[in-house]
Amino acid sequence: MTLFVKICGLRTEQDVDTAVEAGADAVGFVFSDSPRRIDPAAAARLVARVPESVLTVGVFRREPLDHVRSVAAESGIRAVQLHGPEDRGYYADLATGGWTLIRAAAFGDSVPRCGEFGEDMLLLDAPVPGSGIAWDWSRKQVAAGERWLLAGGLTPENVREAVDVTRPWGVDVSSGVEASRGVKNPALITAFVEAARAGAVLG
Ligand SMILES: O=C(O)c1ccccc1NCC(=O)[C@H](O)[C@H](O)COP(=O)(O)O
């Protein structure tokens, strides 16, 4: 099994082309308040460059359901990643649209299970998404074998150790492949994908 790698917060053609050429499995576009925010029309132009084999993901935080549906339709993304406190009804409604659903949960007291809200993937993240701050991965709470992504403060330097410690199904990065906040560095994107997959032992 190959480690699933998602590169998040992309805003330019170069970002997207680099991630795809590096072998990323998914590319993310942030549609909520963030230095990485992109509007749906601009995202649609980038989504059109992405081959079918790579999942295009829209990232949302605390947005009304109608807004998520409308942005997802306009941009053409195939997956929706939710960082808010959405309930099961919200997920059930979105599931009717055919999008792959990714539920982001902050590392904390509860023990999340992938699928308990009807999601297809679980993303275990730092309390502040997109902050580049790592949490104590050795305390990860997801059962082995679940479709879960490790996120929060990953970099080309630490991703290998993080994968070895937590044995995730996949990894997700944003800040760790940036030259400055919101501006991706192509060389770091390539280095991250290579480092993530180098000698991976998955659980
Ligand atoms: O990137 C943001 O600013 C953002 C804003 C609102 C919701 C989610 C956001 N980002 C999600 C991600 O980029 C990743 O899924 C994850 O949080 C990893 O971030 P990082 O620690 O920067 O690698």
Crossing angle of helices 159-166 and 186-197, in 10° steps, is 30
CA of 67 to the centre of ligand 1 (A): 19
* Residue 66: pLDDT over 90: yes
CA nearest neighbour of 126 among 154, 148, 101, 158: 154
Query: Quick check: ipTM above 0.90?
Result: yes
Q: How does the average pLDDT of the chain come out, rounded?
A: 93
Contact of 57 with 81, CB cutoff 8 Å: yes
Of 11-20, 99-108, 179-188, minimum mean pLDDT range: 99-108
* Residue 102: pLDDT over 60: yes
One-character DSSP codes across 69-130: HHHHHHHT-SEEEE-S---HHHHHHHHTTT-EEEEEEESSSS---TTTTS-SEEEEE-SSTT
User: How does DSSP classify residue 37?
Assistant: B
Ligand 1 binding pocket (C-beta < 6 A) is 8-9, 30, 32, 34, 36, 59, 61, 83, 123, 125-126, 129-132, 151-154, 172-176
* Segment 113-117 mean pLDDT: 91
Catalytic annotation on 125? yes
Residue to mutate (ligand 1; options 7, 8, 125, 155; most atoms within 8 A of CB): 8
CA of 51 to the centre of ligand 1 (A): 23
Residue to mutate (ligand 1; options 6, 25, 27, 30; most atoms within 8 A of CB): 30
Q: Which of these is catalytic: 39, 114, 120, 125? A: 125
Domains of the chain plus CATH, in order, are 4-197 (3.20.20.70)
CA of 9 to the centre of ligand 1 (A): 7
Catalytic annotation on 25? no
Could you report the per-residue pLDDT of 137-175, keeping only the tens digit for each?
A: 877 777 667 899 999 999 999 999 999 988 999 999 999
Confidence of residue 109 (pLDDT cuts 50, 70, 90): low
Contact of 195 with 159, CB cutoff 8 Å: yes
Closest ligand 1 atom number to CA of residue 151:
18
* Residue 12: pLDDT over 80: yes
CA of 120 to the centre of ligand 1 (A): 19
* Residue 200: pLDDT over 60: no
Among protein residues, the one with the nearest Cα to ligand 1's atom 2 is: 130
Contact of 173 with 159, CB cutoff 8 Å: yes
* Residue 103: pLDDT over 80: yes
